[in-house]
Amino acid sequence: MRPEILRDDVDELFSFDYRDESAARSFAAQVLQPRRPAAVVSVTEDGLEPAALMSGILGTPAVPLAVVRAMRDKAKMRRVLLERAPHLSVPFAGPGDDKALERLFPSAYGVIAKPVSGTASSGILLVRSAEEAQALPARDQYLFEAFVPGAEFSVESFSVDGVHEIVAVAEKSTGGGFVETAHLMPPAALDGTARVQVEQATRELLDALELRDGPAHTELKVHDGTVRVIETHNRPGGDGIADLVALTTGIDWRRVSLGWPLGVRPTRGTGTAAAAANVFFTAPPGRVTAIADRPATLPGADLARWEVDVVVGGRVGELHSSGDRVGMATVTGPSSEACRRAVAELGPDTIVTTEDTVQ
């Protein structure tokens, strides 16, 4: 690792494969235990289980490993919901359950196939028949779920001793391959009644999974007055959602998510914007031929952030995951509707122009 990328406040750096359970156990016992850390925390998906594992060895405050695994393993989460809160779940088939898979078809909306421990919208597919599902490579690593129509939302929550505070709610947009293309906070598509339903469903989910402490990011869909859980994680949401929380509530969500084992709690302040949105740029696969300039102004909103991750002459691949997006912008405004209009005016699918070079 290059020294220049390390933060100034890093006193010691150790390198090991934290995804290897035996290596994590050894590191906790031989390296961490003599130093008596107050906490081991991760705010990234791959680090959640190792952090819980090492915390258990050290006796530091943490979400129990069994709870973390129930939240990360999408099939396990579905089984828990089926037992404890079936009204929040959807029909599903776990890996290798061919009989349950056949019962999912035919479906008016199709069936979602997702890796049981996937993140960043990677590897999610829509399949239309049991035969198509059974033909997938590595089929035994997929969870199959009945597709749920409706508007999608995400909830940032914080729990203390089993009491769940709703920190913020965002409205989510997705593009090809179910990749997330925008997050709007607060949501424009939720009226008061629906928001209460979403918040209550989140609390019921966290109770069912026995999450008692710390942050969580939960994704749900609302259709015809019914709320269904998509997935949940014991960490803050990605895609710059923490920035939206800070802008609209004044809560430093990253600091809270890192410091909660030490007693840091979400303290609402004065947000700098009534509403905010993160929007992600996409482009068809091919060679980049042009990139639009950052707009000087937006109607009814302000442009707080602008990033383009490609250059003219570079290549854009198929949109299979969040990592395939080509940039992002953050807009703020006096209302959610104002931010939504600004995002549409921005034309996030027109920022990067590509040319198909395949003959």
Q: What's the CATH number where 247 sits?
A: 3.30.470.20
Q: How much is the pLDDT for 118?
A: 58
- Residues 284, 202 share a domain: no
- Residues 220, 153 share a domain: yes
- Residues 291, 345 share a domain: yes
Distances (CA, A) of 212 to 68, 99, 238: 11, 35, 21
Q: How much is the pLDDT for 142?
A: 87
Check which CATH number belongs to the domain holding 346 and give it: 3.90.1170
Q: Which of 282, 307, 281, 289 is nearest to 354 (CA)?
A: 289
Domain end position, chosen among 106, 124, 146: 146
Q: How much is the pLDDT for 94?
A: 87
pLDDT exceeds 70 at position 1: no
Q: How much is the pLDDT for 119?
A: 54
Domain end position, chosen among 262, 295, 312: 262
Residue 11 counted as domain residue: yes
Residue 329 counted as domain residue: yes
Average pLDDT (160-183) is 92
Q: How much is the pLDDT for 5?
A: 56
Q: Which residue has the tokens 């949401």?
A: 237
Average pLDDT (182-196) is 94
Residue 77 counted as domain residue: no
Reported as a single tens digit per residue, the pLDDT across 5-56 is 556 667 788 888 998 999 999 999 999 999 999 999 999 999 999 999 999 9
Q: How much is the pLDDT for 181?
A: 93
Residue 34 counted as domain residue: yes
Q: How much is the pLDDT for 43?
A: 94
Residue 74 counted as domain residue: no
Q: Which residue has the tokens 């235990």?
A: 33
Q: How much is the pLDDT for 97?
A: 85
| Tally of domains within the chain | 4
Residue 251 counted as domain residue: yes
In the sheet that 286-291 helps form, which strands lie side by side, from edge to edge? Answer: 315-316, 286-291, 352-355
| Euclidean distance between the first and the last CA atom of the chain, given in angstroms as a whole number | 41
Q: Which neighbouring-strand residues pair with 277?
A: 184, 331
Average pLDDT (243-250) is 98
- Residues 162, 128 share a domain: no
3-state secondary structure the chain: CCHHHCCCCCCCCCCCCCCCHHHHHHHHHHHHHHHCCCCCCCCCHHHHHHHHHHHHHHCCCCCCHHHHHHHHCHHHHHHHHHHHCHHHCCCEECCCCHHHHHHCCCCCCCEEEEECCCCCCCCCEEECCHHHHHCCCCHHHEEEEECCCCEEEEEEEEEECCEEEEEEEEEEEECHHHCEEEEEECCCCCCHHHHHHHHHHHHHHHHHCCCCCEEEEEEEEEECCEEEEEEEECCCCCCCHHHHHHHHHCCCHHHHHHHHHHCCCCCCCCCCCCEEEEEEECCCCEEEEEECCCCCCECCEEEEEEEECCCCCCEECCCCCHHHCCEEEEEEECCHHHHHHHHHHHCCCCCEEEECCCC
- Residues 118, 132 share a domain: yes
Reported as a single tens digit per residue, the pLDDT across 207-232 is 999 999 999 999 999 999 999 999 99
Indicate the angle between helix axes 65-72 and 48-58, nearest 10 degrees. Answer: 170
Write the burial class of residue 276 (CB in 10 Å: 0-12 exposed, 13-18 middle, 19+ buried).
Answer: buried
Q: How much is the pLDDT for 315?
A: 95
- Residues 287, 309 share a domain: yes
Average pLDDT (121-131) is 78
Residue 317 counted as domain residue: yes
Domain end position, chosen among 68, 103, 123: 68
- Residues 230, 135 share a domain: no
- Residues 212, 287 share a domain: no
Residue 73 counted as domain residue: no
- Residues 214, 153 share a domain: yes
- Residues 184, 153 share a domain: yes
- Residues 292, 255 share a domain: no
Give the residue numbers spanning the domain of 322: 275-355
> What's the rounded Cα separation, in Å, for the pair 100 and 26?
40
Average pLDDT (342-351) is 93
Reported as a single tens digit per residue, the pLDDT across 41-98 is 999 999 999 999 999 999 999 999 999 999 999 999 999 999 999 999 999 988 888 8
> What's the rounded Cα separation, in Å, for the pair 53 and 24?
8
Peptide bond just before 186 cis, omega within 30 deg: yes
Residues with Cβ within 8 Å of 269's Cβ and at least 6 positions away in sequence, in order, are 249, 250, 251
- Residues 29, 60 share a domain: yes
Q: How much is the pLDDT for 107?
A: 75
